[in-house]
Amino acid sequence: MKILQIIPSISLIYGGPSQMVLGLAPALVREGVEVTIITTDSNGDSGQKPLDVPLNHPVKQNGYEIIYFRCAPFRRYKFSLGLLQWLKLHAHEYDIAHIHALFSPVSSAAAAVCRQQKLPYILRPLGTLDPADLRKKKLFKQLYVAILERSNLAGAAAIHFTSEQEAKVSARFGVSTRDLVIPLGVIPPVEERGEVRSQLGIPGDIPLVLFMSRIDPKKGLNLLIPALERLLATGYNFHFVLAGTNPQDPIYEQKIKSLIENSLLRSHTTITGFVRGELKASLTQAADLFVLPSYYENFGIAVAEAMVAGVPVVISDQVHICQQVLDSESGWVGTTDVQSLVGLLQKALENPDECQRRGLNAQKYALQHFSWSAIAHQTIQAYNQIIAGEK
């Protein structure tokens, strides 16, 4: 089986979507599948240098290959004519394409090329069909749907959702394409606790509360910051780590940093910026509590990563793996308001033994349900069914 993965960028600066493709590809290879990723060299949308990679020919990595194409100058939209030309020439060499992103010009055009070349494809919307996301740039998206995305959805072999809740709430625009619900995977961390607290100047004897995600309005930082301020004002002791960036909206990122720097939190907070590799693993494992009070989240890969590291989570009921967190007692789930978040954080900070118990539950659940091996098996089964149906 030869599979084509298509994604606007696999730079880790874009977070979950890139992580997913870079996790799925080697897992599929281990099951005997041939995988090619086609993508652009985009590495941020606000003047950052593109990825330093060879262009237009395969780069071998972990058993699969990646072909990078030059991103058009207006990098926010990650368009590449070279990628589409290559796809038109080579689509017939593959059994199925897995396209990651909607409302992205290169993904939308790639779906059209796949239809033209009679290559079956799966679309993964990355939460963009959530009504909350569709309200952003509403008129533009309505036009985009009418011109491109309704046809792409109708022509897809399946729509890949990462949770039952994402599938349930997603708009379909009158299209009845098959749902495919397969969660995202996480890689169990190697023990990396080390000296990360001392490296970052964080006291070793107080709880470390971690936010590690894209710094974006949908992530609920406007709830988390006042909740943490209220806890400090009432005598709770903790250290907050804000880890993340936003290459698409640096103005909002700076606004959040300024908010912290001008608040009670300043002397109780470490702002790391974007983290990856050993530092990311060490920081996750050093955390006593992971917090993500998002307004909507189609899966929540950062939550799953915290869980597999044995860290209990505090999340909103709009993070779509919230039911799994509740059922497995892997943390606490509340609503998207400050008072609810304050109450959950109080429960966690006041009960370190309960935190430890829920952290162990989280790790057990994540290892069982979010392993890349299990997810690769589900994905291959779906690929086989679609390919068989096309013949």
Q: Which amino acid makes up residue 196?
A: V
* Superfamily designation of domain 196-369: Glycogen Phosphorylase B; (3.40.50.2000)
Is residue 280 within 8 Å of residue 250, measured between CB atoms?
no
313-316 vs 208-212, strand pairing mode: unpaired
Q: Across-strand partners of 124?
A: 100
Q: Burial letters for 143-170: b for 16+ Cβ neighbours within 10 Å, e otherwise?
A: ebbeebbebbbebbbbbbbbbebbbebb
Q: Which CATH superfamily is domain 2-185+371-390 in?
A: Glycogen Phosphorylase B; (3.40.50.2000)
Question: Rounded to an integer, what distance in angstroms lies between the CA atom of residue 321 and that of residue 300?
Answer: 7
3-state secondary structure 262-283: CCHHHHHEEEEECCCHHHHHHH
Question: How far is the C-alpha of 127 from the C-alpha of 296, rounded, in Å?
Answer: 8
DSSP string across 44-80: -SSSPPPP----SS-EEETTEEEEEEPPPSSGGG---
| Of the candidates 180, 67, 50, the residue with the CA atom closest to the CA atom of residue 123 | 180
Q: What is the mean pLDDT of each run of 10 residues along the chain (391 residues)?
A: 96 85 95 97 81 94 96 80 97 97 95 97 95 92 95 97 93 94 87 75 91 95 97 96 91 95 94 90 94 94 94 96 96 97 97 96 94 93 92 57
Could you tell me where in the chain the CATH 3.40.50.2000 domains are found?
2-185+371-390, 196-369
Beta strands in the chain (DSSP E): 2-9, 34-40, 59-61, 64-69, 96-100, 121-124, 158-161, 179-181, 208-212, 239-243, 269-273, 289-292, 313-316, 331-334
Backbone angles phi, psi at 157, to 5 degrees: -75, -30
Residue 252 to residue 250: CA distance in whole angstroms: 5
Report the side by side order of strands in the sheet with 331-334. Answer: 269-273, 239-243, 208-212, 289-292, 313-316, 331-334
Contact 311, 348 (CB under 8 A): no
Amino acid at 368: Q
The pLDDT score that the predictor gives to residue 75 is: 64
User: Are the beta carbons of 314 and 344 closer than 8 angstroms?
Assistant: yes
pTM: 0.85
- CA distance linking residue 149 with residue 145, whole number of Å: 4
- What's the start-to-end Cα distance of the chain, in Å? 14
